[in-house]
Each structure stands twice: as C-alpha cells, then as structure tokens.
Amino acid sequence: MQVCSNNQQMLDAVSTWKAQGKTIAFVPTMGGLHAGHLSLVHQAKANADKVVVSIFVNPTQFGKNEDFDHYPKTLEQDLTKLEACQVDAVFTPSKEQIYPNGYTSHVKAGSLAQGLCSKSRPGHFDGVVQVVHRLFEIITPNVAIFGQKDYQQLLVIRQMVKTLSLPISILSGDIVREQSGLAMSTRNQYLSVDEKETALKLYQVLIQLKQAVLKNQDLSVAIHNSKATLSQDFKIEYLSVLDANTLKSITDNTSKIAILCAVFLGSTRLIDNIIFNQG
Ligand code: PAF
C-alpha cells in the first residue's frame, strides 16, 4: 500500500495505473475509520482495479463553532485497517497540498444543498464540494463511493458531478450500524456509554416513522409523534420525510422516500436516515 502525502506522489501513482489501463475507485474520508468506511472500501474494490482512500480533515466544511480542532485523528490505526483491506494507495495530503496559495474554488454546492443540514451548517456543502472536486482533480477516479448516512451530501455530490459533466460514477454505500442499530460514525467516539445506550432510540423512531408512512398514516401527525418521542432524549435539529430524489415534499410522482434527521445528544450531533420505496 502506497501512502502518498503530497500531490505529486498521488499524481504519479495515478498516471502509472492509467498507463496500464487500470480503473480507479476512490473513497474520500476524514479518517477516524470505522466499519462503515471499510465497507465503502470493499465496495470500491469490487468496482475498479485500484482503490485510493483519502484521509483529509477538510477545514472548509466546518463551521466556526464546530469540532474541527478536536475531530478524531487516528492515522496509524487508519493505515493499519486500510492495509488489511489491501487498499492500493492512501492519500494523506496537508492543507497546503489541497489548498495551495489560498486556493479558492469556483465550484459551489447546488440546489440540493438547501435546507436540512445547511440550516444549522451554512456553507458546509460548499466546503464539501470544494474538497471533493479538488480530490477528484488529483485522483481522477472512474468511480467514487460515498456513504448513504450522509444522504444530503451524496445527492449534492451527484448533482455536482452531473452539472460539471464529470466522467465519474458516484456509488452509494449502505449505512453500517452497530448491533444496537446506531449508525456508525466517527463522531460516535464523543458519546459516553450512557449516551450510546440512548442513541440507539434514534433508529427505532425512524423505523416506527417508516411503518407509519407505509401505512399511509397522516404524515404531519406521524412526524409530530416521532418528534415528541425523540425530544424526550434528543434536541431535534430536523426530522423530515421527503422525496428521496429531490429532497422536496412528497408528491404523487414520488417513488422513493427519505426519512432524514439530525439531532443532538448532549453536545454530539448525530444524523441518520432511512430510504425506501413508496408502497
Ligand atoms: O463524508 C466525509 O467524511 C466528508 O464530508 C468528505 C466526503 C470526506 C469530504 O471531506
């Protein structure tokens, strides 16, 4: 496994593979790797000849009062896990490599970035799109894999790729959950043992809401009830039931539904979702 800590090393690896006619699958991460990330890596391996994983905690997608400074940094453990998965290259650039000389991006997040997470994290998706576009420029993958847990991010990236006509297939990786049902996240490390116990209620409420939607119960009543249950343990940022393709209200044309939520448990922000076919 090659560890490329600067752009030139990464560019050299990519051009060698391209000269050999190899395809490249890319998994962008911010490190703090868990089984969810590793499942994306396995999916990447199944979809291309070579797999690149990036580890870069991108400052431009964090707000002023967010956890950029103490975001978990576990590089040694991450590299061990990726080596065990037989990843071909890990890209671990510095901020200067990604954003040389005050690099600014002309690429902005599109309409799907509006609402949901953007309400509490204004500018977050512009930062995500900026870094992902930059990583795409360097790695030029054929395929890139994003976890479904960050569902709005996945759609925003798909929209960017479509708008810019980038020749990259975007695949979605299923949410990997703890046995309790809690969606795996690097930020779960912030939870105490008691909070972890409480956190599993989030997925239970989402499942109940899904059942209510499938039974055609009144949507606003069902959401109201779910919020009432959630608010016993969490501070709710949003809980929405939307068309999974447009992130707008459900219409007669909706084929796929997204139940999406963001909550705070203590000072830890958790997001989760369920995506399913209408009836
Ligand atoms: O999902 C993440 O970990 C990040 O938003 C990503 C895609 C690696 C960009 O920094």
Over the stretch 191-227, which tens digit does the pLDDT of each residue have?
A: 999 999 999 999 999 999 999 999 999 999 999 999 9
Percent of the chain with pLDDT over 70: 100
Q: Is the predicted pLDDT of residue 275 greater than 90, yes or no?
A: yes
The C-alpha atoms of residue 192 and residue 184 are separated, in whole angstroms, by 15
Q: In 10 A of CB 141, how many CB atoms?
A: 27
132 lines ligand 1 (CB under 6 A): yes
Q: In 10 A of CB 270, how many CB atoms?
A: 23
The C-alpha atoms of residue 107 and residue 23 are separated, in whole angstroms, by 25
Q: What is the pLDDT of residue 279?
A: 72
For residue 235, give the H/E element and its range: strand 235-243
Q: Which of 37, 70, 106, 224 is catalytic?
A: 37
Q: What is the pLDDT of residue 127?
A: 97
Q: What is the pLDDT of residue 105?
A: 80
pLDDT band at 181 (very low <50, low <70, confident <90, very high): very high
Q: How far is the CA of 128 from the centre of ligand 1 (A)?
A: 6
Classify the C-alpha dihedral 17-22-28-29 as positive or negative.
negative
Q: What is the pLDDT of residue 150?
A: 98
- Over residues 145-153, the mean pLDDT reads 98
Q: For residues 259 and 244, is the Cβ–Cβ distance under 8 A?
A: no
pLDDT band at 119 (very low <50, low <70, confident <90, very high): very high
150 lines ligand 1 (CB under 6 A): yes
Q: Tell me which residue of 158, 139, 113 sits closest to 27, measured CA to CA.
A: 139
Q: Is the predicted pLDDT of residue 32 greater than 80, yes or no?
A: yes
Q: Mark out the alpha helices in 26-150 (DSSP H runs).
A: 35-47, 75-84, 95-98, 117-120, 124-139
Mean pLDDT of the chain: 97
Q: Is the predicted pLDDT of residue 130 greater than 80, yes or no?
A: yes
Classify the C-alpha dihedral 163-168-174-175 as positive or negative.
negative
Q: How far is the CA of 138 from the centre of ligand 1 (A)?
A: 16
Q: What distance separates the 2 farthest-apart alpha carbons in the chain?
A: 58
Q: For residues 240 and 264, is the Cβ–Cβ distance under 8 A?
A: no
31 lines ligand 1 (CB under 6 A): no
- CA atoms within a 13 Å half-sphere pointing along the CA-CB vector of 18: 11
